[in-house]
Structure 1
């Protein structure tokens, strides 16, 4: 059946844009633009501060860890999440499998970014 009336244009909310994400991206871009071009971003980062893992958690991030060591740990955590997600995907079905695969893909991309930052900081003269 052919539609006689075209669909109305999509609004910003329907297009899936999230104003909070746009604002966060803009703030990140502004901070990065303030960095000198020859400065290593990883070296300019301060050490970690003690931070609880979640509200009411018994666990926390230890303070005083340098950025490179913290990113190495993040990479290991993301690798573990990839492996667990891969295993779960094999057991999923239907929409669950697609959602889990999406999670796996997001974790792989996040780990690739962290690893690229670490590799880039190691290859600087």
Structure 2
């Protein structure tokens, strides 16, 4: 007998977990839980420090950029990633299309959080 639908792939969640990511997330959660900020969090953030824009990247982040300006740039980068992913999704099929759609959704959510932070601080009482 020939199967029409193949068996679903077997996932082992523990093998896909990255302990470094888990540790980084825990550090961030701990810092957020133990930080007391009076006023705007964006205003309380220090400007950017110089650093690489990616692993082995010839590009760097300029020092001295305000948190608001940096978040605006992140929002623009995420919007560009959405648009590129949307175009790629049109060309893909099967599993690839689902993976790309998931990427698009994640990028949209990340941009939504950044934009909400920016909007909330623009309208916050000074």
Secondary structure at the residue paired with 2:48?
Answer: coil
Q: Once superposed, what is the RMSD of the aligned Cα atoms?
A: 2.1
- For residue 81 of structure 2, what is the aligned residue in structure 1? 81
Contact 2:42-2:67 at 8 Å conserved across structures: yes
Indicate how the Cα distance of structure 1 residues 72 and 27 shifts in structure 2: closer, same or farther if over 3 A, else same: same
Q: How many residues align?
A: 114
- For residue 72 of structure 2, what is the aligned residue in structure 1? 72
Cα shift at 1:30: 1.8
Map Cα deviations across residues 25-54 of structure 1 (whole Å, 9 max, x no partner): 222122112332543221111111111223
- For residue 101 of structure 1, what is the aligned residue in structure 2? 101
Map Cα deviations across residues 39-92 of structure 1 (whole Å, 9 max, x no partner): 322111111111122344321111110000000000000000001100110110
- For residue 49 of structure 2, what is the aligned residue in structure 1? 49
Indicate how the Cα distance of structure 1 residues 54 and 21 shifts in structure 2: closer, same or farther if over 3 A, else same: closer
CA distance in 1, matches of 2:80, 2:14: 35
Contact 1:35-1:41 at 8 Å conserved across structures: no
TM-score for both structures, normalised by structure 2? 0.79
Structure 1, 40-49 or 17-26: larger mean CA deviation: 17-26
- For residue 14 of structure 2, what is the aligned residue in structure 1? 13
CA distance in 2, matches of 1:55, 1:89: 26
Extract unaligned runs of 5+ from structure 1.
1-10
